[in-house]
Amino acid sequence: MSWLFKIKQNEKIFRFTIFSISIFPAILLYYKYSTAGLGINPFATLSHQTGHIAIVYILLTLSITPIRRFLCNVSIKLNLNRGKRLSDWNFLIKSRRQLGLFSFFYSALHLSAYLFLDIGWSWEYFSDDLAERSFIIYGLVNFIMLFLLAITSPTIVRKKMGRWWKKVHRLMYLIAILSIVHFVFAAKHGNNWSIVYGTICLVLLSNRAWIFLSNKSRRQKDDGLETYRN
């Protein structure tokens, strides 16, 4: 396990890796677009794939906290030298912001596909859609919330916001639920990805609910004594 904590010392490399992996789908889409490789219906490919990737990134962002807790528990069970403290896994938190920003990025691409290709910036179509299409509203509300989280993500803003930052950024739970609702209403009959996404989202959120509701004494402590426990 010690290699992992060397990565901790080289946080920048870790984040750069995540960045490279995360930007890859966008580059691939652009490459396919420029080589006419988006299939027979490029509009559908662009709007569907950016949407899928956005949901995946929203769920990835939400998975960091449970993964961190899980890794910590595993380290305690295996009685490893390093990793028994939650703070040993703090480098994951920094990449959580990255993942969150990528979910914003892919949502923005998804929204652009709608604005440029679907309605072609027509105010008439847009207002019709808002009046009649519930999933457009969910998607738009979601995008606005993601935008809010994105602009409040720099460290300076975070520090200025104090305790409020955490409260505001809990909107991510709502964003996850709403993005799946958006998907359910937009997808055609027979598309079962919503079950996959919904299950993952349920696991990630119920894990938090479980921790929150469980006895305080059973919650993960981070006082440094974990290293000696077991």
Partner 1 sequence: MQVTPWNTYQNRREFLNKMIKIGAIASIAPSQLIIAKNNRHFLSQTPIKSAQNYNNYYEFSTNKEAVMHLANSFSISPWSISIEGEVKNPLTLSLSDILDLESVERVYPLRCVEGWSMVIPWKGIELRKILNQARVKTTAKYVKFVGTYRPEEMFNQRRKILPWPYTEGLRIDEAMHPLTILATGMYDETLSKQNGAPIRLVVPWKYGFKSIKAIQKIIVQKEKPKTSWNMQIPSEYGFYANVNPSVAHPRWSQSREVRIGELRKRPTNPFNGFKNEVSHMYKNLDLELNF
Name the residues that contact partner 1, by CB under 8 A: 39-44, 116-120, 125, 128-129, 132-135, 185-186, 188-191
Calpha distance 126→119 (Å, rounded)? 7
Q: Give min distance, CB of 18 to partner 1, in A.
A: 30
Closer to partner 1 by Cβ: residue 36 or 156:
36
Closer to partner 1 by Cβ: residue 130 or 203:
130
Q: Give min distance, CB of 103 to partner 1, in A.
A: 23
Closer to partner 1 by Cβ: residue 2 or 127:
127
Q: Give min distance, CB of 110 to partner 1, in A.
A: 15
CB 211 within 8 A of CB 66: no
Calpha distance 179→186 (Å, rounded)? 10
Closer to partner 1 by Cβ: residue 27 or 44:
44
Q: Give min distance, CB of 190 to partner 1, in A.
A: 4
Q: Using alpha carbons, list the distances in angstroms from residue 197 to 26, 28, 61, 177, 184.
A: 21, 23, 13, 10, 10
- What is the residue type of 51? G
Calpha distance 6→2 (Å, rounded)? 6
